[in-house]
Amino acid sequence: MIYTIRSEMPCDISGVHALTRAAFAAARHGSHTEHHIVDALRERGELSISLVAEDAGQLIGHVALSPVDVQDGSEGWFGLGPVSVLPERQGRGVGTALVQAAIEALRAQGARGCVLLGEPGFYGRFGFRAVPDLLLPGVPAEYFQALCLQPPMAQGEVRYSSAFEAVG
């Protein structure tokens, strides 16, 4: 499969909304509001990095990165997600390529680190791991993972944007 990963453009906004909605429609995990979260991040100016995967003019995947607050005051930390891939394209490496591109984009802009809530088996291959001193209240510790791009590792509670509470 040949596709391109690039930065989101204004003409992609409605396509990213539809893609994200479709990607999570039948998901066992997630809030099924992920498309509203991406919209709210964009509206608030907090969608720091927004990458799309495109195949022959069709959007097949998307990844969002937004700033997070860390209790110890660490700057330059971002939350990765949601990561969306059209259902018919899942399991073919599109999500992997989007996560790799997102990490490289963070490195290029000098980010200190990245956190996410996700499956350890998938995200561990990119270097993400649960960190005992970095917490997201209310979630199982093993699913909240971090990747330190520039030491030291942040510590304390992490707070995502209120855009993650968006429901419509």
Question: 3-class DSSP state for residue 70?
Answer: strand
Concatenate the DSSP letters of all residues of 79-105 into one string: EEEEEEE-GGGTTSSHHHHHHHHHHHH
Q: Provide, rounded to the nearest whole percent, the portion of the chain with pLDDT above 90.
A: 89
pTM as predicted: 0.94
pLDDT at 32: 72
Checking if the pLDDT of 148 tops 70, the result is yes
pLDDT at 158 over 90: yes
The domain tally of the chain equals 1
Q: How far apart are CA 107 and CA 78, in angstroms?
A: 11
Residue 135: which domain range? 4-165
pLDDT tens digits, 18-56: 999 999 887 766 567 899 999 999 999 999 999 999 999
Residue 143 belongs to domain with CATH number: 3.40.630.30
pLDDT for the residue numbered 74: 97
